[in-house]
């Protein structure tokens, strides 16, 4: 920080009310850090607020700087402690992880919440042609979007499908260029359809892929639907599995971390891109803070080779594109 900026902070902070105000402000930030670190999740809108933890982490730096500029060392140390807790929580997402040594087939998976079918179908098809995914998961897959994609040749690129379009944002589907069949057991629970499918890759290896669409943690019946719609998702283990789509949860939600802990890894997190935000990107003011609620969870035996997210016209979620490498068949 430049000398002039420090002097300006010191000039403001020298006012008598600044110190007490910073002590008072410390309380909610410290409470936020403790709740997030312990995984305690009260029900008073916390399931919505906790998604903004990266912004809370960044916000601790200004009062920390003010405490230093004011030379009020107990205050500065208290803010440093809170900032350190947030750093432990958030910074690992920006650091890449290692991968298991694998030599099996590679798979590219694209996932998108299509905003109740209002995504620009031509733009989506252009993205599919450019990215050439092996598997596509679509949620909020509506009949009118299905018709548009069919007219524009989706069946030529990804001819196999499990799942059906439905109105009112309830439809979900998995598409594949490789042979595809329904999953061994349906995923039952409240909320939109979550579709399990089994992809048979070249060489005969099978991969479970689930199109995920958890309920939003909003008011009314959805508040209860949100957590249960994540808990019904299959844990890792057995056949290799990938969960891809709109989890309506960030890595700051305990329920998602518990699912990951069964033996998955978040692809964005593995690539050091865990702070890649995915919603909202349409019909919101540009200054509205974005959150990371779309994920690709891959079995920990799978290597993550790439992850990216990109916006499409008339769609509130960004699409994700993930490249994975599987262990050789029989070595998983």
State residue 108's pLDDT score: 98
Q: What is the pLDDT of residues 198-234, one digit of tens each?
A: 999 999 999 999 999 999 887 654 567 888 999 999 9
Q: What is the pLDDT of residues 297-306, one digit of tens each?
A: 999 999 999 9
Query: Band of the pLDDT at 47, cuts 50, 70, 90?
Result: confident
Quote the CA–CA distance of 331 and 82 in Å, as a whole number: 44
The residues pairing with 106 across neighbouring beta strands, listed in sequence order, are 325
**Cβ-based neighbours of 268, under 8 Å, separated by 6 or more:** 93, 274, 276, 292, 295, 296, 307, 309, 320
State residue 285's pLDDT score: 80
State residue 230's pLDDT score: 95
**Cβ-based neighbours of 97, under 8 Å, separated by 6 or more:** 265, 269, 270, 272
| Mean pLDDT for all residues in the chain | 92
Whether the CB-CB separation of 270 and 263 falls below 8 Å is answered with no
Quote the CA–CA distance of 284 and 300 in Å, as a whole number: 36
List, as one string, the DSSP characters of 36-64.
HHHT---SSSHHHHGGGHHHHHHHTHHHH
Rounded to an integer, the average pLDDT of 88-103 is 96
Residue with tokens 């262990």: 327
Quote the CA–CA distance of 36 and 30 in Å, as a whole number: 10
Helix, strand, or coil here: 250?
coil
Quote the CA–CA distance of 276 and 278 in Å, as a whole number: 7
Query: Band of the pLDDT at 318, cuts 50, 70, 90?
Result: very high
State residue 223's pLDDT score: 64
């Amino acid at each position: 920080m430049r000398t002039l900026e420090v002097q300006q902070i010191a000039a403001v902070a020298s006012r008598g009310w600044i110190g007490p105000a910073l002590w008072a402000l410390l309380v909610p930030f410290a409470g936020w850090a403790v709740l997030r670190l312990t995984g305690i999740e009260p029900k008073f809108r916390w399931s919505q607020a906790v998604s903004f933890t990266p912004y809370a982490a960044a916000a601790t730096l200004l009062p920390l700087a003010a405490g230093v500029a004011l030379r009020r060392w107990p205050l500065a140390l208290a803010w440093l402690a809170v900032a350190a807790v947030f750093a432990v929580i958030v910074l690992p997402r920006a650091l890449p992880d290692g991968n298991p040594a694998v030599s099996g087939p590679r798979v590219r998976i694209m996932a998108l919440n299509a905003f109740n079918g209002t995504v620009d179908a031509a733009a989506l098809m252009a993205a599919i042609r450019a990215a050439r995914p092996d598997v596509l998961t679509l949620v909020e897959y509506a009949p009118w979007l299905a018709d548009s994609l069919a007219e524009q040749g989706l069946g030529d690129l990804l001819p196999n499908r499990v799942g059906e379009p439905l109105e009112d944002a309830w439809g979900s589907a998995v598409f594949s260029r490789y042979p595809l069949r329904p999953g061994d057991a349906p995923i039952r629970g409240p909320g939109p359809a979550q579709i399990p499918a089994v992809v048979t890759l070249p060489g005969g290896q099978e991969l479970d892929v689930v199109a995920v669409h958890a309920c939003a943690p909003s008011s009314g019946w959805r508040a209860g639907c949100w957590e249960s719609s994540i808990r019904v998702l299959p844990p890792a283990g057995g056949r290799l599995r990938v969960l891809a789509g709109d989890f309506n949860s960030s890595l700051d939600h305990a329920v998602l971390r518990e699912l990951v802990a069964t033996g998955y890894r978040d692809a964005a997190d593995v690539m050091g891109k865990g702070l890649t935000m995915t919603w909202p990107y349409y019909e919101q003011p540009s200054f509205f803070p974005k959150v990371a609620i779309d994920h690709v969870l891959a079995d920990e035996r799978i290597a993550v080779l790439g992850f990216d997210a990109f916006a499409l016209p008339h769609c509130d979620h960004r699409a994700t594109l993930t490249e994975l490498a599987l262990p050789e068949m029989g070595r998983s």
